[in-house]
Structure 1
Amino acid sequence: MKKILVLAGDYVEDYEVMVPFQMLLMLGYAVDAVCPGKKPGDVVRTAIHDFEGDQTYSEKRGHNFSINCDFDKVNTADYVGLVIPGGRAPEYLRLNPRILEIVREFDAAQKPIAAVCHGPQILVSAGVLKNRTCTAYPAVKPDVVDAGAKWGEFNETLTNAVVDGHIVTAPAWPAHPAWIAAFAKLLGAKISI
């Protein structure tokens, strides 16, 4: 069975970790969710970010999300794709050297990488965005541009995805249909229903 790796951490955005996890299972992939410092059976707390007309998103406590694989045992050769959800987790996960190595290894192997919302902060810190086009939550735009990437346009409803080679990015969870479909296409996934 082909495997996908998901990088999670406390206060990852609820929808942005749970929906891709479930959708990739539905497509027949084994999905390993990992978090530095946590073991299988541990949980990460999630946050629900919503767009309610304020100047930025609101944040509410979400669900617990179960980690099902040991971060310390990740071998990127075992995986066909990588998912980097958003929320607050990317801002501190990118400080972990092994997280950045994992991203660089996927990038060097040209394996599909999907990052959403604040997830591209990890791509920035891994140094894989130079001369690429991508998008992210609008507040991450300065980081993306400073990393040498071209900012991919997004619509006001935050529902689009940007594909550049093997990397697909999206601004937030409302883009799940476009983002997950683009990632599935990069993976070569087929829906058999």
Structure 2
Amino acid sequence: MSKILMITGDFVEDYENMVPFQTLMACGHLVDAVCPGKSAGDTIKTAIHDFEGDQTYTEKPGHNFTLNATFAEVSAESYDGLYIPGGRAPEYLRLNSDVIALVQAFFAADKPVSSICHGPQLLAAAGVLEGKQVSAYPACEPEIKLAGASYVSVGMDEAITDGKLVTGPAWPAHPALLSQFMALL
């Protein structure tokens, strides 16, 4: 059983937060979900993103998700891996220096990291993507390239692994992304 940290926040994509959280636990892993400025028992709001034929995804209100750990009490040393969901949360989480330091610590320790959709925005801001092959939601391609990584366009239901980093473009990639991540754990 591995212990995994999930860094999340308000308006995270609902499926990209809840499905991996529950799946990893169902497979025997321990998952601590944290958000800066919040404690265990606090909730975050989620958003549901869907692909309905428009030029981009649509967004609808999701569910409230209860955090089960306190951000101020976590450290990379206590975990075997890191999971970063997408949605709008990575957009503002990447502005938090404590979040950036935590992400960098996982990479410095060469621990498995998985990120989906807009999650790689946070990895790009942390400066940990140099030389990596990375997938993400297509709108994140410029940031991936500016971070020194190669953006890899895969099907929405596919994921890629580069070393100990697993990335995918959106929630339809969960089966591929989670199986690749668990193989690294």
TM over 0.5: yes
1:79 aligns with 2:79: yes
Q: Which residue of 1 aligns with 2:127?
A: 127
Partner Cα distance (1:2, 1:144) in 2: 28
Map 1:1-193; keep pairs closer than 5 Å: 2-155=2-155, 158-187=156-185
- SS of corresponding position for 1:185: helix
Partner Cα distance (1:17, 1:55) in 2: 24
Partner Cα distance (1:151, 1:120) in 2: 11
TM-score (norm 2): 0.98
Partner Cα distance (1:2, 1:179) in 2: 16
CA deviation string 1:94-144 (max 9, x = no partner): 000011111111001110000000000000000000111001000000000
Alpha-carbon distance, 1:153 to partner: 2.5
Partner Cα distance (1:171, 1:108) in 2: 24
> Is the CA contact 2:157–2:172 (under 8 Å) kept in the aligned structure 1?
yes
Question: Unaligned 5+ residue runs, structure 1?
Answer: 188-193
Q: RMSD in angstroms over aligned alpha carbons?
A: 0.7
Counterpart residue type for residue 25 of structure 2 = L
> Is the CA contact 2:113–2:181 (under 8 Å) kept in the aligned structure 1?
yes
Partner Cα distance (2:15, 2:2) in 1: 23
How many aligned positions are there?
185
- SS of corresponding position for 1:10: coil
CA deviation string 1:3-35 (max 9, x = no partner): 100001000000000000001101111110000
Counterpart residue type for residue 161 of structure 2 = V
TM-score (norm 1): 0.94
Identical columns (%): 57
Counterpart residue type for residue 35 of structure 1 = C
Counterpart residue type for residue 168 of structure 1 = V
- SS of corresponding position for 1:6: strand
CA deviation string 1:51-91 (max 9, x = no partner): 00000000000000011101001111110010000000000
Alpha-carbon distance, 1:152 to partner: 1.2
Question: Unaligned 5+ residue runs, structure 2?
Answer: none
Partner Cα distance (2:10, 2:153) in 1: 29
- SS of corresponding position for 1:31: strand
> Is the CA contact 2:138–2:153 (under 8 Å) kept in the aligned structure 1?
no
Partner Cα distance (2:118, 2:16) in 1: 10
- SS of corresponding position for 2:161: strand
